C-alpha cells in the first residue's frame, strides 16, 4: 500500500465513477483531496462526506474543465486550502459511444474535444506549473485509443490528443522529477455511460467474456489500483507510459 500522507491531490471529475474511486483511494492513503465537479454538486458533496467519515480530508470545488480560467480557480483553491499541489489526475471527461463517424455532429465534436482534449491539455499544463518537484500527473484516457472500435471514432479521437501530450510532458518535466502517465481503462461498470449498467446486465456479461482475467467487467476500483501505483513511490521511475487496464484484453 502506498503512503500519500502529507500529499495534496486534485482529481477532476470525481463526484462519481472512476474519479470518485481514485479520490477515495488517495484519501485512504493519507492525501488531502480536492474533489472536482462541473454540475453534480450533490454527489461531489457526498464523496467528500464519505471521505471525511472514513477519517480523510477533502473539499469539493466546482469548476468546468472546458474553461481554462476555471481550472486556474480550481488549482488556486487547492493551494490556498492545503498549501501545495503534489498529485493531479485529469479524469474529467465525456463519452459518446455507439455513434458511427458518419453520424457524428459538429455539436458533439465541439463538446467532446472541449472537455476531453482541450480540458485535459490545460488541466495538465496548469497543474505542471504548480506541482511540487517530484510530483505526479496522471491522465485518464481510454482503451479505445489502443484498438479501433466501431462507434467510438469521435470519442477515441478526442482522447488520443492527451495520450500524446503525456509523452511530451514526461520529457519536459523529467528534470523536475515529475512523472506523467496515462491510464487506459476498458469498459468500466458503474462509470461513464455505463454508470447505470450493472454487472448482471447482458452487455457486461458479454463484455466480461472478452476479459481473460476474472471473467468480469472492469470496476472503478481496478482503475484506482493503477492510480495508486502511479501516484506512489514504486512508480518513481515510470513516466511517459500508458497503462492499459483491461483485464488482459487488447482493448
User: For 8-242, which CATH class?
Assistant: alpha beta
Whole-number pLDDT of residue 97: 84
Pick from 94, 57, 110: nearest CA to 193: 94
Q: What is the DSSP string of 174-189?
A: GGGT-EEEEEEE--BT
Whole-number pLDDT of residue 206: 47
How many DSSP H helices and E strands does the chain contain?
8, 7
The three grid cell numbers given for residue 128, joined into one nine-digit string: 505542471
Q: What is the DSSP string of 50-98?
A: HHHHTT-EEEEEE--TTSHHHHHHHHHHHHHHHS---EEEE-------S
- Sheet of strand 57-62: strand arrangement: 57-62, 32-37, 8-11, 87-90, 136-140, 179-185, 242-245
Q: How far is CA 1 from CA 179, 217, 239, in A?
A: 19, 24, 20
Beta bridge partners of 188: 218
pTM: 0.92
Catalytic residue among 26, 82, 155, 229: 155
155 catalytic? Reply is yes
- Going residue by residue through the chain, which has 251 residues, state the pLDDT in tens, using 9 for 90 and above: 789 999 999 999 999 999 999 999 999 999 999 999 999 999 999 999 999 999 999 999 999 999 999 999 999 999 999 999 999 999 999 998 888 999 999 999 999 999 999 999 999 999 999 999 999 999 999 998 998 889 999 999 999 999 999 999 999 999 999 999 999 998 887 565 554 555 555 445 445 555 556 667 789 999 999 999 999 999 999 999 999 998 877 65
**Phi, psi of 182, deg, nearest 5:** -120, 140
Residues 6+ apart with CB under 8 A from 251: 143, 144, 146, 147, 149, 186
Amino acid at each position: 500500500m502506498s503512503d500519500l500522507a502529507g500529499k495534496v491531490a486534485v482529481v477532476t471529475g470525481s463526484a462519481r465513477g472512476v474519479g470518485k474511486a481514485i479520490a477515495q483511494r488517495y484519501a485512504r492513503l493519507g492525501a488531502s483531496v480536492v474533489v472536482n465537479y462541473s454540475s453534480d454538486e450533490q454527489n461531489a458533496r457526498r464523496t467528500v462526506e464519505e471521505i471525511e467519515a472514513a477519517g480523510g480530508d477533502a473539499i469539493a470545488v466546482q469548476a468546468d474543465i472546458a474553461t481554462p480560467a476555471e481550472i486556474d480557480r480550481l488549482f488556486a483553491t487547492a493551494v490556498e486550502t492545503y498549501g501545495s499541489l503534489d498529485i493531479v489526475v485529469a479524469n474529467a471527461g465525456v463519452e459518446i459511444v455507439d455513434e458511427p463517424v458518419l453520424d457524428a455532429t459538429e455539436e458533439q465534436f465541439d463538446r467532446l474535444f472541449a472537455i476531453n482534449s482541450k480540458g485535459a491539455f490545460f488541466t495538465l499544463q496548469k497543474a505542471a506549473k504548480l506541482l511540487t518537484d517530484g510530483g505526479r500527473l496522471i491522465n485518464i484516457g481510454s482503451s479505445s485509443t489502443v484498438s479501433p472500435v466501431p462507434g467510438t471514432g469521435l470519442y477515441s479521437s478526442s482522447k488520443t490528443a492527451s495520450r500524446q501530450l503525456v509523452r511530451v510532458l514526461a520529457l519536459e518535466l523529467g528534470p523536475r522529477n515529475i512523472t506523467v502517465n496515462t491510464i487506459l481503462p476498458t469498459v468500466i461498470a458503474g462509470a461513464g455511460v455505463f454508470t447505470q449498467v450493472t454487472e448482471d446486465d447482458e452487455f457486461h456479461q458479454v463484455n466480461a467474456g472478452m476479459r481473460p482475467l476474472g471473467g468480469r467487467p472492469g470496476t472503478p476500483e481496478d482503475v484506482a489500483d493503477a492510480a495508486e501505483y502511479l501516484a506512489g513511490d514504486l512508480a518513481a521511475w515510470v513516466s511517459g507510459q500508458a497503462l492499459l487496464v483491461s483485464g488482459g484484453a487488447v482493448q
